[in-house]
Structure 1
Amino acid sequence: MIRLFKHYIPHAVLLLGLLDLVLLIMASEIAWQWRAHQIGMDVGEVGGRGVALMGTSLVIWLAMISVGVYGPYALRSLRFAGARLLVAISLAILALALIDFILPSDLFWRSTLLYTMVLAIVVLVADRLLLNSFLGSSAFRRRIMVLGAGGRAMRLRELSERPETGFAVVAYVAMSEDKRLVEEAIPRAAIHDLGRFVENLGVSEVVLALQERRNALPLKDLLRIKTKGVHVNDFSSFIERETGRVDLDTVNPSWLIFSDGFSSGRMFSSAVKRIFDITASLILLVLTLPVIALFAALVKIDSKGPAFFRQQRVGLYGEAFTLIKLRSMRTDAEKDGAKWAEENDPRITRVGRIIRKLRIDELPQTWSVLKGQMSFVGPRPEVPAFVDSLEEVIPFYGERHMVKPGITGWAQINYPYGASVEDSRSKLEYDLYYAKNYTPFLDLVILLQTLRVILWPEGAR
């Protein structure tokens, strides 16, 4: 994987994305020339319309990122990728038509959009037809050797068997006979030279999956492996990189302290984040005020009670603040105290189901973003009663409050809606990854991917 601004991106995804961008530029240029020839216009130099071509391609490319074209399932399923491509290109063409209406240019014509759309679909589908058979092959999967044969090694085995995984385990080495769960593991005593063994297998990375590392690490072997250019990684760091979450079952305070993350550079990231929050919240409030007013009226008509719902939530550094949303539940929904939402929750009103599914109930939170109590991106703010109980049973739960809560976040786009202690534990693993690694780049990825969650809701309640 390649680490870009503290966030890991698989090599296959990065290469495919760059190839797609080049193909989109070519498709845009061909579409422009096609239309120019139809009206008998001199084509001219391509450099003179470079900005328009790049802008068109970037809008389509960002739409592709937003709807999950580069997600793991899209990389493995041509049918899945084709459906996402159609949605992305259609949305991008609509956005480009709007941009041309607002900022008309002699170098960009709306009449070329149809040609661009057709050509983009053709070249991108053809690209995936050619590469689809190779994306799942060993040429695109890193070769990993696992030291260990216990529970952690078994977890790596299960992870490697998922179709979206970007690595393959080529060997397991049992360092002891205790609690051996991976039957095909090779006993360490059977390997004369571990460094030569790694070299012969073409291993690119060795992962330490030992249940107990004290007095069990083969330091001399690991040093030799490292000097041969093979990356050596511990289990928790490997899981963090491959899954985008911090594994609560294996991390400890020392790992959080000494691993990369929580850097001093976040002062700059926080400043950029705040400038974006202020600018975007002002624009969004102005644009969505009619939508908020319309659905506030529908909420009032649909059920008795106020249009807006106010509730205390826990924010940055554990400080409480008042969250404002469009009311989607009956006014007596929490008469017995706060409780988790359920599937097909009977407390939700008819209009409430619609605004929850479309995330319209979240729009008034933009006011909290403008005030600085929230950000657009961050962990979801929880009710104080839930926080108190979760901190008692889930380790490191309080660390999620070291960043501002957000309307959307890394956990929201990676994990279905959670309504239990176990769900909160799973979501915390993603929240910790975000708190540990957040940068403006990761915020941009999350904001783009939020469109995918809106278009294809997963477990909205």
Structure 2
Amino acid sequence: MLLKKWEDLPLYMKCDEVRTYYDILSSKKYSLILKRIFDVLIASILLVILAIPMIIIAVMIKLDSPGPVFYRQERVTTYGKHFKIHKFRTMVSNADKIGTAVTVENDNRITRVGAKLRGLRLDELPQVLDVLSGNMSFVGTRPEAVKYVEKYKPEYFATLLLPAGITSEASIKYKNESELLTEINDVDKMYIEHVLPQKMKHNLNSIMHYSLFYEFITMLKTLLTVLKKKNI
């Protein structure tokens, strides 16, 4: 994975706020190549290992509620590219049309099987397909819905220099995000004005101190967080 030349970036990304992070990543080109090699290698292995469990989960979803197996909401990744993320459906069909793009605690749109998948983050297993396609990486800023990216401050666009990620420091620290948004009248406003800025602080810090070692630690912390939650 190589960064585009500065002059080839989308116009809205060519600002002083983004340039600081761009220069940092430009000095780590070989590390970025290794990151992509690691993503493809591990995603290929996981796809083979997880094939049967994913088929079982797909059957459970179909038996639990009507609708497709996958949830394919449009998200934003590198350089502002739009893509449809692969996630196991954990809500009723067309949930995004009857609520916000973020989920709150005890959201009545979540299905019975979906609640279990969310608790163990198994709904994100299909994202290995997005990693293989290059739309995502194992570690990186979680891909936001288009309507939230449209509200980005200039500095936030620096997160689009790298592929969106399955996990990140921000997603670990905000693992209980749905609980924070419970009983909020205007969930979208709360998310954009309060939650998103806090998450972006962690995302931008991760770019500022980018290293493969840092990403390995993030993956390990994610695994420990999921296992801890499972044992509660």
TM-score by length of 2: 0.80
- What runs of 5+ residues in structure 1 fail to find an aligned partner? 1-252
Output the CA distance in 2 between the equivalents of 1:308 and 1:297: 11
1:445 and 2:217 are equivalent in the alignment: yes
Is residue 325–residue 364 contact of structure 1 (8 Å, CA) maintained in 2?
yes
Give the direction of change, closer, same or farther, for the CA distance of 1:386–1:255 in structure 2 (3 Å limit).
Answer: closer
C-alpha offsets along residues 305-331 of structure 1, whole Å, 9 cap, x if unaligned? Answer: 111111111000111111111100000
Output the CA distance in 2 between the equivalents of 1:321 and 1:263: 23
1:416 and 2:205 are equivalent in the alignment: no
Q: Which residue of 1 aligns with 2:226?
A: 454
Output the CA distance in 2 between the equivalents of 1:434 and 1:416: 17
Output the CA distance in 1 between the equivalents of 2:19 and 2:29: 19
In the TM superposition, what are the counterparts of 1:340-419 in structure 2 within 5 Å?
A: 340-388=102-150, 390-391=151-152, 394=153, 396-418=155-177
Total equivalences in the alignment? 202
- Point out which structure has higher relative CO (alpha carbons under 8 A, 6+ apart): 2
Give the direction of change, closer, same or farther, for the CA distance of 1:336–1:347 in structure 2 (3 Å limit).
Answer: closer
Q: Which amino acid aligns with 2:175?
A: P
Give 2:63's match in structure 1, choosing from 301, 309, 317.
301
Q: Which residue of 2 aligns with 1:335?
A: 97
Q: Which residue of 2 aligns with 1:90?
A: none
In the TM superposition, what are the counterparts of 1:85-234 in structure 2 within 5 Å?
A: none
Is residue 156–residue 200 contact of structure 2 (8 Å, CA) maintained in 1?
yes
In the TM superposition, what are the counterparts of 1:36-55 in structure 2 within 5 Å?
A: none
What is the SS of the residue equivalent to 1:376? Answer: strand
What is the SS of the residue equivalent to 1:352? Answer: helix
Is residue 46–residue 128 contact of structure 2 (8 Å, CA) maintained in 1?
yes
C-alpha offsets along residues 365-386 of structure 1, whole Å, 9 cap, x if unaligned? Answer: 0011011111001010011112
Q: Which amino acid aligns with 1:361?
A: D
Is residue 18–residue 154 contact of structure 2 (8 Å, CA) maintained in 1?
no
Give how far 1:264 is off.
2.8
Is residue 402–residue 435 contact of structure 1 (8 Å, CA) maintained in 2?
no
Give the direction of change, closer, same or farther, for the CA distance of 1:304–1:433 in structure 2 (3 Å limit).
Answer: same
Give how far 1:263 is off.
4.3
Output the CA distance in 1 between the equivalents of 2:218 and 2:134: 19
Output the CA distance in 1 between the equivalents of 2:171 and 2:109: 22
Output the CA distance in 2 between the equivalents of 1:381 and 1:336: 21
Is residue 269–residue 440 contact of structure 1 (8 Å, CA) maintained in 2?
yes
Give the direction of change, closer, same or farther, for the CA distance of 1:255–1:318 in structure 2 (3 Å limit).
Answer: closer
In the TM superposition, what are the counterparts of 1:18-29 in structure 2 within 5 Å?
A: none
Q: Which residue of 2 aligns with 1:285?
A: 47
What is the SS of the residue equivalent to 1:293? Answer: helix
Q: Which residue of 2 aligns with 1:18?
A: none
Give how far 1:345 is off.
0.8
Give how far 1:396 is off.
1.7
Bigger Cα displacement from structure 2, 271-280 vs 402-411: 402-411
What is the SS of the residue equivalent to 2:219? Answer: helix
Q: Which residue of 2 aligns with 1:324?
A: 86
User: Root-mean-square deviation (CA), in Å?
Assistant: 2.3
TM-score by length of 1: 0.42
Output the CA distance in 1 between the equivalents of 2:56 and 2:207: 36
Is residue 90–residue 110 contact of structure 2 (8 Å, CA) maintained in 1?
yes
Q: Which amino acid aligns with 2:172?
A: I
Give how far 1:273 is off.
0.4
Q: Which residue of 1 aligns with 2:188?
A: none
Q: Which amino acid aligns with 1:407?
A: I
Give how far 1:428 is off.
0.4
Output the CA distance in 2 between the equivalents of 1:380 and 1:434: 12
- What runs of 5+ residues in structure 2 fail to find an aligned partner? 1-15, 182-190
Give how far 1:256 is off.
7.6
Is residue 338–residue 385 contact of structure 1 (8 Å, CA) maintained in 2?
no
Output the CA distance in 1 between the equivalents of 2:18 and 2:148: 27
Give the direction of change, closer, same or farther, for the CA distance of 1:279–1:423 in structure 2 (3 Å limit).
Answer: same
Output the CA distance in 1 between the equivalents of 2:40 and 2:96: 32
Q: Which amino acid aligns with 1:439?
A: S
